[in-house]
């Protein structure tokens, strides 16, 4: 039951959050996939770290309903998590941990004794706190996994940009199109761009992008952005086992270069969005 104690706790947490807030909200990027196993978490971590290496102030949020393992992949000790923020037990500032390349990480929850209440009010509480991080973050990367449904729709609606991750497999491509179709029907203003993960060649990635674009143009009457691709390689599993992002462990590898190109694109979009908010720029990068 939502009693007076809950109301009081929410008021106190809201006051603490507002005391941290100043200036415009950070640029929010939701990373998600049409199906599991396409590498949304790996991409979210490495793009966030690459943005940190570019000098951006980044907060990486683990909001994956299926498996909250961002903290483990970054070698962090899990103390508090996104569940504490959503239940109003802690503010986002109390839960953030320092991660690789100076990024801040809001750990996820993936344990039987750590159930997460993803109801609309709890989700709104999390998103509102993230939007108060303007003094501390330029960009918020939200790893939403492949949860689907209303939870993912609200993360789309809160985002400035959606990075939809696919693989070259036909099933993944079809699931990606289905996610775009759902996105298109949800009255979401955020820009959507597709990332092809674990592509064997640039030509294969371009072919996947073209297939998705053709379907969107033909059946939805819209275009989607091309956020780039990440090369296939054996580094993924090795770096995951070592709790080290690829962009740190093997910075000159083709895999790392792919993540870096995506990070540069996101940084450019964020800068253009910031100029648009100020009323001086032409708008977001196409």
What does the pLDDT look like over 56-73, one tens digit per residue?
999 999 998 777 889 999
Q: What ranges in 38-119 are assigned the alpha helix state H? A: 40-53, 70-73, 82-86, 92-95
Q: Which residue has the higher pLDDT, 202 or 6?
A: 202
Nearest to 142 by CA among 17, 266, 272: 266
Place of tokens 């289905």: 178
Task: Report yes or no on whether pTM surpasses 0.75.
Answer: yes
Q: How many residues does the chain have?
A: 286
DSSP 8-state code for residue 223? -
| Contacts of 233 by beta carbon, 8 Å cutoff, 6+ apart | 253, 254, 255
Fold of the CATH domain 23-273? Rossmann fold (3.40.50)
Per DSSP, the three-state class of 239 is helix
20-29, 47-56, 244-253: lowest mean pLDDT where? 20-29
What does the pLDDT look like over 213-242, one tens digit per residue?
999 999 999 999 999 999 998 777 767 767
**Residue 203 — very low, low, confident or very high, per pLDDT cuts 50/70/90?**
very high
16-20, 147-151, 231-235: lowest mean pLDDT where? 16-20
73-77, 151-155, 235-239, 242-246: lowest mean pLDDT where? 235-239
42-46, 62-66, 203-207, 224-228: lowest mean pLDDT where? 62-66
The pLDDT, as a whole number, for residue 8 is 52
Q: How many CB atoms lie within 10 A of CB 269?
A: 22
Q: Would you kindly state where each structural domain of the chain is located, as residue ranges?
A: 23-273
**Residue 36 — very low, low, confident or very high, per pLDDT cuts 50/70/90?**
confident
The pLDDT, as a whole number, for residue 186 is 78
Highest-pLDDT range among 66-75, 181-190, 255-264: 255-264
**Cα 27 to chain centroid, rounded:** 11
Print burial letters for 111-120: b (CB count within 10 Å at least 16), e (below 16).
Answer: eeeeebebee
Average pLDDT over residues 250-268: 96
The pLDDT, as a whole number, for residue 286 is 37
Q: Which residue has the higher pLDDT, 19 or 229?
A: 229
DSSP string, 218-265: IIIS---EEEEEEE--THHHHHHHTT--HHHHSTTSHHHHHHHHHHHH
**Cα–Cα distance for residue pair 135/148, rounded to 1 Å:** 31
**Residue 45 — very low, low, confident or very high, per pLDDT cuts 50/70/90?**
very high
| Contacts of 39 by beta carbon, 8 Å cutoff, 6+ apart | 33, 165, 167, 197, 198, 230, 236
48-57, 133-142, 234-243, 264-273: lowest mean pLDDT where? 234-243
What does the pLDDT look like over 109-131, one tens digit per residue?
765 555 667 788 999 999 999 99
């Amino acid at each position: 039951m939502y009693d007076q104690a809950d109301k009081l706790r929410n008021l106190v947490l809201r006051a603490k959050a507002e005391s941290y807030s100043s200036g415009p909200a950070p640029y929010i990027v939701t990373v998600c996939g049409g199906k599991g196993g396409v590498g949304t978490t790996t991409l979210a971590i490495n793009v966030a770290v690459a943005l940190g290496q570019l000098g951006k102030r980044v907060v990486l949020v683990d909001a994956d309903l299926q498996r909250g393992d961002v903290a483990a992949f970054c070698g962090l000790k899990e103390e508090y998590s996104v569940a504490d923020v959503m239940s109003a037990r802690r503010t986002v500032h109390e839960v953030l941990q320092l991660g690789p390349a100076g990024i801040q990480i809001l750990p996820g929850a993936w344990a039987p004794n750590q159930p997460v209440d993803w109801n609309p009010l709890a989700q709104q509480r999390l998103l509102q706190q993230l939007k108060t991080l303007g003094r501390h973050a330029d960009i918020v990367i939200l790893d939403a996994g492949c949860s689907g449904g209303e939870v993912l729709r609200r993360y789309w609606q809160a985002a400035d940009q959606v990075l939809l991750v696919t693989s070259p497999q036909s099933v993944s491509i079809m699931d990606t199109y289905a996610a775009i179709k759902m996105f298109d029907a949800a009255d979401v203003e955020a820009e959507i761009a597709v990332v092809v993960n674990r592509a064997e060649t640039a030509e294969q990635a371009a072919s996947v992008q073209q297939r998705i674009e053709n379907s969107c143009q033909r059946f939805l009457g819209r275009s989607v952005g091309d956020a780039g691709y990440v090369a296939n390689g054996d580094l993924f599993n090795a770096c995951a086992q070592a709790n080290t992002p690829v962009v740190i462990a093997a910075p000159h590898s083709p895999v790392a270069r792919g993540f870096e190109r995506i990070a540069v694109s996101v940084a450019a979009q964020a800068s253009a969005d910031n100029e648009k908010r100020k009323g001086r720029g032409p708008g977001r990068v196409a």
